[in-house]
Amino acid sequence: MKFSELWLRTLVNPALDSAALSHLLTMAGLEVEALDPVAADFSGVVVGQVLSVAPHPDADRLRVCLVDAGTGSPLQIVCGAPNVSEGARVPCALAGARLPGFEIKKAKLRGVESQGMLCSARELGLAEQADGLLLLPNDAPVGSNIRDYLHLDDRLYTLKLTPNRSDCLSVAGVAREVAALTGSPLNLPRIEPAAVTGRLTRMVQVTAGQACPRYCGRVISQLNRAAQTPGWMIERLSRSGLRSISPVVDITNYVLLELGQPLHAFDLDKLAGDIQVRMATPGETLTLLNDQRATLEADMLVIADDNGAQALAGIMGGAATAVDENTSEIFLEAAYFSPGAIAGRARRLGLSTDSSHRFERGVDYAATRDALERATALILEICAGAASAITEITGDLPQRAPVMLRTARASKVLGVALSDAQVEVLLGRLCFDFQRDGAAYQVTPPSYRFDLNIEEDLIEELARLHGYDNIVAQAPVARLTMLPQPEQQRGVDALRTLLTARDYQEVITYSFVDAAWEADFAPGAQPVVLKNPIASQMGVMRSTLLGGLMDVLRNNLNRRQERVRIFESGRCYLPAAEGFDQPQRLAGLAYGSAMPEQWGSAARNVDFFDVKADLEALCWPQPARFEKSAHPALHPGQCAEMWLNGVHAGWLGTLHPRLTQQYDLATAPVVFELALPALLTRKLPRHGEISRFQSVRRDLAVIVDESAPVQALIDAMYAARIEGVAEITLFDVYRGKGIDSDKKSLAFRVLLQDTQKTFTDTEVDTAMAYFTDLLKQQFNAQLRS
């Protein structure tokens, strides 16, 4: 929203300078994004009248002018502008004047004395380019200061409004705010019904009542085609960023800026039949005022006649019924269109207009007729003519329900002691209707405040008027209580510390990911699809963290980082019966050499067992179990499920060769993805008595089928619960000479130790014989000789 400060001060004029007013608006929630002067700083320029123009004796392009600048005697000024002419009134910089970038002095130009300079808009800093002198109206007072005459001591405010404050998309709306904030009197334009002197009317049919609850229109005939837009209106429009087009169009634009109500004027002679407010027919076309040919859809609201759509309601009029220099009769409309009926339609057609910007956010449905009367009065004043009676169709308009406001609640929320008297004063300055209801107020928001619906909205209004600067910051006072923190629970930070200690680096990636990643790394999942993604390659919510890690890996490889060890903790998103689940996970990736390049160890690539060791360290002191499994994104022979305390905790494996080739990787990275909650609970180490007796070691080597899992054999031996067995560990696997090709030899170390005695050979032999028989029965194991 851009407007002139001088225009605003005609409606409300607080005793504040421009900077203070800007700060006040910003602190009240109407952020002033820019505060710019209308013109550059200059002085010594007055209105001058050219009395005569003569050729320069020594230069073909120069003219010698006598200029009346109000100094008592004519000034001789040499000028090279092509549009200088006798009788013209132009800005004249006197000797000693300071213009942007230079100072005017008496000088001789090609031998002829010049006592000043006639100025263009560019030389005054009013425009970047100019073809000649800035020509002023014939009634410009000679000798008057040009800054005063052109109102150049003005500033332009640019507000960066939040979408909920559509009431401030007008100068009148901003004036209301300033009056409420400062208590200054508000002088809005007085609107009275125009005298009905015309007899022409046009019937209106509204078939889309929900999209258009109110529609007003009237015919204005006998317009003066030679009328010109007055200078004061052109000035206000241009300083708000709009160019002058024609008197009728300028007036509709002016009322839009002044009151916030968009209007549109149709050339009455170009309309056929009644005005119809209806939804568009699918495939219907309309050529807009910007010459764009739009193909309309069924949810677009149009203003039509017997020939079809003539305007896209709330967005832009049609070229076929536009007013022009030959227009003498118009149909002027003002309407309230529901925000839901306008929102998104302009963007769909690649448009953004002042009207759609306001209708999408909501305009004052109670001021529709007033805006039409205001525009009518200006048209009759500038273009003459005869106004007919207003045709108005009204349906189900929005209702403003009362909102409860409690003084005690407001004081508690704001931390400021407010009295009932203060609350009533502030509500009165906002022009809110309210009634006392016991200890509360029933406040009815005005029709132009769509953003006030709950008590907290009204409390915010009190805070704005009271002034955020006047709310004293108070340190919070609360009783602190130490919450119990079980030792078996650890935070995510502990896991981060463990992984970084093992040479991993943490990364953070987007939760919005490419659907192709989900198909690669979680092909069985149905990702949550975004309705309005911020980018085409970020169209779904992630159901796995692996896609983001792979993207980080590729970025590092593109920057010649050949060794990458990264991890991420975060939420994934899975569809559920009601909405979606958000499980927390921890994932990691290791790529490249197992150790940084060095002389102390031979170079080798990281493998499955390196990362398995990292996960075992992450789970300590509780043992993690790994079982061979299959995952569509992992190598069939290098993939395992991890179990922790009997609960499935996640996956570990080398990336599938197909994906390694697809992502153009020299070697396959090793990845893991774990359920975070399973890692946050751990068993605490328990103190045990240290035995004073020597341990006894026995080695047990057996031959089993190649498919027999080692962990199953160890679990079976532990399950036997042989007294004194302290540890069972696999220390050798042999395949080769002396062993069938479908067999393998497993060698286990069995330690026996007791705190009360030393084991005898008989006890040890009995235990080993039991283990041998157990493995033979359950796994068809044969003792290796």
DSSP state letters, 152-194 = -S-EEEEEE--TT-GGGSSHHHHHHHHHHHH-----PPP--PP
User: Does residue 355 contact residue 316 with C-beta atoms inside 8 Å?
Assistant: yes
Question: Which segments of the chain belong to CATH 3.30.70.380?
Answer: 696-783
Q: Is residue 460 a known part of a binding site?
A: yes
Fold of 403-467: Phenylalanyl-tRNA Synthetase; Chain B, domain 1 (3.30.56)
pLDDT of 688: 77
> Is the pTM above the cut of 0.85?
no
Tokens of 479: 């009783």
Question: Which segments of the chain belong to CATH 3.50.40.10?
Answer: 204-394
Question: Which segments of the chain belong to CATH 3.30.56.10?
Answer: 2-38+155-182, 403-467
Fold of 43-149: OB fold (Dihydrolipoamide Acetyltransferase, E2P) (2.40.50)
Quote the CATH superfamily of domain 492-680.
Answer: Bira Bifunctional Protein; Domain 2 (3.30.930.10)
Q: Is residue 451 a known part of a binding site?
A: yes
CA distance 401 to 403: 6
What is the CATH architecture assignment of 2-38+155-182? Answer: 2-Layer Sandwich (3.30)
pLDDT of 17: 94
CATH number belonging to domain 696-783: 3.30.70.380
Kindly tell me the burial class for residue 158, based on how many C-beta atoms sit within 10 Å of its own C-beta (0-12, 13-18, 19 or more): middle
pLDDT of 579: 81
Give the angle subtended at the CA of 323 by the CAs of 320 and 328, to the nearest 5°: 125
CA distance 352 to 316: 9
CA distance 372 to 273: 22
pLDDT of 481: 86
pLDDT of 486: 85
Q: In one letter, which amino acid is 674?
A: L
CATH number belonging to domain 204-394: 3.50.40.10
Question: Which segments of the chain belong to CATH 3.30.930.10?
Answer: 492-680
Low-confidence stretches of the chain (pLDDT < 50) are: none
Kindly tell me the burial class for residue 13, based on how many C-beta atoms sit within 10 Å of its own C-beta (0-12, 13-18, 19 or more): middle
Q: Is residue 370 a known part of a binding site?
A: no
